[in-house]
């Protein structure tokens, strides 16, 4: 059996262990190569992206942002748009607080700019259409049960927008004609009361539309179709309800007495009146008692001079 040399074997094992430790240390210290990340998948190409609508939208958004920073646009938003949204309850609280203090102080908009924005907002097509829709709803409400409807419609006749005034007249004309005004007919007496369009205050307002003029003699109501509709409504109301009740007939005049008509002129008549009397007439100042009708006393005789 061969002899094993223990010191030499131990030395070889130590050398092998040292080499293995150094290799493992070098392997642990060396950084691993980065794992290549897969590129993000490109979005699918659609017709809108092919035509460039996405780029156009981004460009328009950027342009709108620049326009929103203009002083005039800011003024209109702060003095017109934000108050309207705040009235409708569509403005956030923080934006409402900012809009409330935008016009205060010396940094607020000039009066002309604020007034121009207010007039533009009041006469905007959206605002006019909103008023027209509200008036059309009031036209379907019973004006007898809700008398304030008449006041609201009469106030709309002073609006600067012509479509609003015309729609208000149509709403007044529609009152009690669509079957919704049951109070216009009294089943007990069987009498129709004047419809909503023929109330006294409405008739007066219709007359004002046709008659009132300005300092230059021009009619205040410039719209031809508004005046034409007001005239039709007024004529219809006057046929249903005259302005005044028909008066009493004239009293019967007494018939003239033929006896006294045939009498000659009195002594104090004009000169030569006696010569105009027919032959056989009674002299002036005397009256034949026989010619008086029965029951009538003759006047006393005139003494001779």
Give the DSSP H/E element, type plus range, for residue 203. helix 200-211
Q: So what's the pLDDT on residue 124?
A: 87
Q: So what's the pLDDT on residue 69?
A: 72
Q: So what's the pLDDT on residue 223?
A: 92
Q: State residue 25 phi and psi, 5-degree precision.
A: -65, -40
pLDDT digits (tens, 9 = 90+) for 283-301: 555 555 555 555 555 555 6
Joined tokens for residue 40: 């993000």
At 237 the three-state DSSP class reads helix
Tell which residue, 195, 128, 200, has the closest CA to residue 168: 128
Q: So what's the pLDDT on residue 47?
A: 64
Q: So what's the pLDDT on residue 104?
A: 45
Q: So what's the pLDDT on residue 113?
A: 79
The answer to whether 226 and 209 have CB atoms below 8 angstroms apart is yes
Q: So what's the pLDDT on residue 50?
A: 64
- The H helix count followed by the E strand count for the chain is 13, 2
At 192 the three-state DSSP class reads strand
Residues of the chain with pLDDT under 70: 1-44, 47-54, 57, 66, 68, 73, 79, 84-109, 175-195, 240-305
Residue 186 pairs in a beta bridge with: 191
Joined tokens for residue 53: 């609508």
């Amino acid at each position: 059996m061969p002899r094993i040399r223990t010191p030499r074997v131990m030395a070889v094992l130590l050398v092998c262990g040292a080499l293995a430790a150094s290799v493992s240390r070098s392997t642990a210290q060396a950084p691993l190569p980065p794992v290549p990340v897969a590129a993000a998948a490109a979005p699918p190409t659609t017709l809108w992206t092919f035509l460039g609508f996405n780029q156009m939208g981004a460009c328009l958004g950027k342009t709108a942002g620049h326009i929103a920073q203009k002083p005039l646009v800011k003024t209109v938003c702060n003095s017109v748009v934000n108050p309207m949204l705040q009235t409708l309850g569509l403005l956030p609280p923080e934006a409402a607080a900012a809009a409330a203090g935008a016009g205060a102080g010396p940094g607020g908009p000039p009066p002309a700019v604020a007034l121009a924005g207010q007039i533009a907002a009041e006469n905007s097509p959206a605002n006019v259409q909103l008023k027209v829709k509200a008036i059309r709803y009031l036209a379907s409400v019973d004006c007898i049960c809700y008398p304030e409807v008449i006041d609201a419609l009469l106030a709309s006749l002073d609006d600067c927008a012509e479509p609003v005034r015309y729609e208000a007249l149509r709403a007044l004309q529609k009152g009690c004609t669509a079957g919704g005004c049951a109070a216009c007919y009294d089943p007990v007496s069987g009498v129709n009361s004047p419809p909503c369009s023929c109330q006294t205050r409405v008739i007066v307002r219709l007359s004002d539309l046709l008659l009132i003029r300005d300092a230059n003699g021009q009619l205040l109501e410039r719209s031809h179709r508004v005046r034409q509709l007001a005239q039709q409504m007024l004529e219809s109301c006057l046929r249903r309800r005259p302005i005044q009740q028909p008066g009493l007939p004239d009293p019967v005049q007494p018939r003239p007495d033929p006896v006294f008509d045939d009498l000659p002129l009195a002594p104090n008549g004009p000169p030569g009146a006696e010569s105009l009397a027919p032959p056989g007439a009674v002299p002036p100042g005397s009256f034949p008692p026989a010619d008086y009708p029965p029951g009538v006393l003759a006047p006393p005789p005139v003494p001779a001079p």
